[in-house]
Chains A and B, each alone.
Chain A
Amino acid sequence: MTDLNGKLSDNGIEVASLLEQQLISKQVDVPLLPDVASRVLSLSSDPDSDAAQLAKLIQSDQALAGHVMRIANSAAYTPNASMVSLQQAIARLGMNLITEIALAASVNAKLFKAPGFESRIAEIWSHALCTALWGKEISRASKKNVEASFLCGLLHSIGRPAILQGLAELEIKHEATLGQDEARLLEDHYHVAFGEAIVERWGMPVIVQQSVKYYLNYQESETNSEQATVIHAASKVAEQMLWPKDGEDLTSLKEDSVFADLNLYADEIDMLFEKEDVVKAGLEAMRV
């Protein structure tokens, strides 16, 4: 919490302390969206639905996708397995089982209740999905693993909505109201640790855990620095695409050192940014 000293109100310090306790006791929970759960339900009762629709639906939701992958990766379904994509999970386990997993997960989990943070959570998910899609394109451009990049990108900021839910709960419980700016400070400060705790508890593959843990400081990753570097770059490109700084387009990122670390040359970066329409189309499609 040292970095936050002087930046938080008394209420903020108290909430931060409680968040740290959650981390220490690993009491971090990620609920599912009821909207997606109901769509999974309607899909499962539609005889004309297919596996592609199911994958698309599940991928539209960061929390649900993570939950399905956690269960698909569990010993009960695939001993010794580490599946990294929904396609792989559906192909291996079948559509019905994945539907059941998605439904079971949605029925048993709490829903996000973060009054006051709804729009921010929507922003976070939009950015996560965008990061996942850019992650794939950046991996493709640098010939690194493409398939894992989607999941790594989708979950890289999973700690953020979890924190916001925690904040909302703590605000109610302790009657400690925080402003959006202060909430953002806490979110920025704790999301990596929360995300790390979540993906670890979910038993995600090491590459996902490492991406979540190191995407901000990819140089520190010893085992999966390439993937963490890709997600770092993807997160930046996604942010610039969704919320352009000073109205500039993606080319303003060309000088960023992360592209040099990926050994992407100027023309290769230009070619990469030409995928913007592809990513936008994917974003729209996966929003459902």
Chain B
Amino acid sequence: MRQFDVIVIGSGPAGQKAAVQAAKAGKTVALVERDQLLGGACVHRGTIPSKTLRENALRVKKMRENAALCSFELAEDIEMSTLIDRLNLVLKAHDGFMVNQIERNKIERVHGRAKFLSAHELEITKVKGEAEVIKGDSFVIASGSIPRHPDNVPVDHEHVFDSDSILSMLYLPTSLTVLGGGVIASEYASIFQALGVKVTMIDRYPLPLGFMDGDLTEKFVHAFQEMGGTWMGGKNVVDVKWDGLSQVITTCDDGTVVRSSKLLCAAGRTANVGDLAIEKAGVSLNDSGNISVDEMLQTKAPHIYAAGDVIGPPSLASASMEQGRRASCNALGIEVGPMSKMIPSGIYGIPELSAVGLTEQQASKVFGKVLVGKANFEEISRGQISGINDGMLKIICDADGQKILGVQIVGEGATELIHIGQMAMLADSPVDIFVESIFNFPTLAEAYRVAALAIIGQRSLNADKY
């Protein structure tokens, strides 16, 4: 029986970093992956493919907006493979990088499906059926998540897709219904709408992306509708069915019926632990269906750690990577500093949204009165030059208008722009830093200055200073 110091289950962002960290600490490491390629859903079915599609959707949108400069019309039945044309190159480069890193660090790559037999024994079933039992001193479970399928949505991957299969469509459909209002739903809905697909988004909440402030998500919805999309908030879907010929029929509890060529069900994701038999290792799931861990990312079994989507929110690739690294460090007794609580979230819709720190709503709950400064991109020179409408940057400060509690941005470049605010918050700088610092001009960073001035203007003591 082969034995390893650390066995990592799953090769997504969390698993990869966990394995590399353990190997760099001089330990023998096995990295178990059920797919043929390394990288997990993030690389092959989620983050990277959808962002590659998004890049082309943005190009298409830009070309449509600049129809006066060039005669442009998207072929009616353009192949998806054309729209994610660079994907293979991106994936190949990523896979090459990962394989190289795994080999360089002498990590044992194991292709198969893992199942705990006991606290320290893991059975690996290979794709051809043969099984091998390997033993580990410590484990990091980083098996990721899988799409959740509500009972009334018959996902068949032909007409009704989930977020793992949506990009297997060969051609752009004429119309698409998107169920859900979360990150995945918002990203795909806006991307397909930008590509000219007639998209209808249906969710039970009045606005999508409920973890962000309403004034930002309203901007997102407005931009989506401007592109021709339909947002149906506050509706519960009671039935989804394929009519057997050409349309998916979605029925809501208020009698609304939506017909479309295809449907994407983006009703959240759930921990991918179905085959793991974690109970045999003394690990259990919490009420949310995720593996419970403490601040050290340790499960109920002292030698088993978990990281990434499998432990639930924030379920961001960026956070998962750091969790994976820390899980290994903690398992091996390597000291690490406290994990940053300030994790930015990025929604790669069209337009992008991004946030760090508290929302206005959260800040009000915690601090009572807060001061808020906003800058609309159309009022910023760079925004005007680039034709960026529906963009806004919002800074939330404490009642004194000094301490930055959060930053929220909607608009192109939001996921990059957010880091300026994040750095200011990490440095505990007062909001004045955005006024006293000099940014390139014209850039969207000017929005920080405008929003900060709006806050400073509200300071009762310094109202006349600026």
Q: Which residues of B contact A147 (CB under 8 A)?
A: 158, 169-170
Task: Pick the residue among A79, A92, A266 that contacts B129 (CB under 8 A).
Answer: A266
Contact status B76-A81, CB under 8 Å: yes
Give 5 closest A-B pairs by Cβ, nearest first: A91-B246, A146-B158, A80-B75, A81-B77, A260-B127
Contact status B129-A80, CB under 8 Å: no
What are 18 sample pairs from A and B whose C-beta atoms fall under 8 A apart? A78-B77, A80-B77, A80-B78, A81-B75, A82-B79, A83-B171, A90-B246, A91-B261, A136-B158, A139-B157, A140-B156, A145-B169, A206-B79, A259-B127, A260-B127, A263-B36, A263-B127, A265-B129
List the interface of chain A (C-beta within 8 A of B): 51-52, 55, 78-84, 87-88, 90-92, 136, 139-140, 143-148, 205-207, 254-255, 257, 259-260, 263-266
Which B72-128 residues have a C-beta within 8 angstroms of A?
75-79, 113, 125, 127-128
Q: How far is the CA of A259 from the CA of B78 in the complex (A)?
A: 30
Evaluate whether A145 and B113 lie within 8 angstroms (CB atoms) in the complex, with A51-B246, A255-B128 already known.
no
A177 to chain B, nearest CB (A): 45
A163 to chain B, nearest CB (A): 29
**In the complex, residue of chain B having the shortest beta-carbon distance to the beta carbon of A51:** B245
Is B313 located at the chain interface by the 8 A CB criterion?
A: no
Q: How far is the CA of A254 from the CA of B127 in the complex (A)?
A: 11
Contact status A145-B127, CB under 8 Å: no
Q: How far is the CA of A78 from the CA of B125 in the complex (A)?
A: 48
Q: Chain B contact residues: over half helix, strand or loop, or mixed?
A: loop
B204 to chain A, nearest CB (A): 27
Q: Please, how many residues of chain B have a CB less than 8 angstroms from a CB on the other chain?
A: 29
Contact status A84-B170, CB under 8 Å: yes
Is B55 located at the chain interface by the 8 A CB criterion?
A: no
Q: How far is the CA of A207 from the CA of B164 in the complex (A)?
A: 21
Number of A-B residue pairs, CB cutoff 8 Å, is: 79
Q: How far is the CA of A143 from the CA of B166 in the complex (A)?
A: 9
Contact status A146-B157, CB under 8 Å: yes
**In the complex, residue of chain A having the shortest beta-carbon distance to the beta carbon of B128:** A260
Contact status A140-B157, CB under 8 Å: yes
Contact status B76-A264, CB under 8 Å: no
B207 to chain A, nearest CB (A): 31
Evaluate whether A148 and B77 lie within 8 angstroms (CB atoms) in the complex, with A52-B245, A88-B246, A254-B129 already known.
no
Task: Pick the residue among B36, B158, B245 that contacts A140 (CB under 8 A).
Answer: B158
Evaluate whether A143 and B168 lie within 8 angstroms (CB atoms) in the complex, with A82-B79, A265-B127 already known.
yes
Q: How far is the CA of A139 from the CA of B169 in the complex (A)?
A: 11
Is B230 located at the chain interface by the 8 A CB criterion?
A: no
Q: Which residues of B contact A139 (CB under 8 A)?
A: 157, 168
Contact status A264-B245, CB under 8 Å: no
Is B338 located at the chain interface by the 8 A CB criterion?
A: no
How would residues 25 to 50 of chain B score, 1 for a CB under 8 Å from any chain A CB and 0 otherwise? 00000000011100000000100000
Contact status B245-A146, CB under 8 Å: no
Contact status B77-A87, CB under 8 Å: no
Q: How far is the CA of A129 from the CA of B40 in the complex (A)?
A: 35
Q: Which residues of B contact A264 (CB under 8 A)?
A: 127
B282 to chain A, nearest CB (A): 25
Contact status A144-B246, CB under 8 Å: no
**In the complex, residue of chain B having the shortest beta-carbon distance to the beta carbon of A92:** B174
**In the complex, residue of chain B having the shortest beta-carbon distance to the beta carbon of A79:** B76
Q: How far is the CA of A84 from the CA of B168 in the complex (A)?
A: 14
Q: Which residues of A contact B245 (CB under 8 A)?
A: 51-52, 55, 87, 90-91
Is B244 located at the chain interface by the 8 A CB criterion?
A: yes
Evaluate whether A207 and B165 lie within 8 angstroms (CB atoms) in the complex, with A91-B245, A264-B127 already known.
no
Q: How far is the CA of A84 from the CA of B171 in the complex (A)?
A: 9
**In the complex, residue of chain B having the shortest beta-carbon distance to the beta carbon of A136:** B158
A70 to chain B, nearest CB (A): 15
A144 to chain B, nearest CB (A): 6
**Which of A52, A143, A207 has most B Cβ within 10 Å?**
A143
Q: Which residues of A contact B165 (CB under 8 A)?
A: 143
Q: Which residues of A contact B75 (CB under 8 A)?
A: 80-81
Q: Which residues of A contact B78 (CB under 8 A)?
A: 80
Q: How far is the CA of A158 from the CA of B371 in the complex (A)?
A: 71
Q: How far is the CA of A266 from the CA of B125 in the complex (A)?
A: 9
Q: Which residues of B contact A51 (CB under 8 A)?
A: 245-246
Contact status B35-A263, CB under 8 Å: yes
Q: How far is the CA of A205 from the CA of B170 in the complex (A)?
A: 10
Q: How far is the CA of A79 from the CA of B157 in the complex (A)?
A: 27
Q: How far is the CA of A102 from the CA of B141 in the complex (A)?
A: 56
Q: How far is the CA of A146 from the CA of B77 in the complex (A)?
A: 17
B91 to chain A, nearest CB (A): 13
Q: Which residues of B contact A91 (CB under 8 A)?
A: 245-247, 261
**In the complex, residue of chain B having the shortest beta-carbon distance to the beta carbon of A89:** B246
Q: How far is the CA of A190 from the CA of B328 in the complex (A)?
A: 57
How would residues 151 to 173 of chain B score, 1 for a CB under 8 Å from any chain A CB and 0 otherwise? 00000111000001100111100
Q: Which residues of A contact B125 (CB under 8 A)?
A: 265-266
Contact status A143-B127, CB under 8 Å: no
Q: How far is the CA of A258 from the CA of B158 in the complex (A)?
A: 22
Q: How far is the CA of A253 from the CA of B381 in the complex (A)?
A: 66
Task: Pick the residue among B34, B77, B174, B261 that contacts A82 (CB under 8 A).
Answer: B77
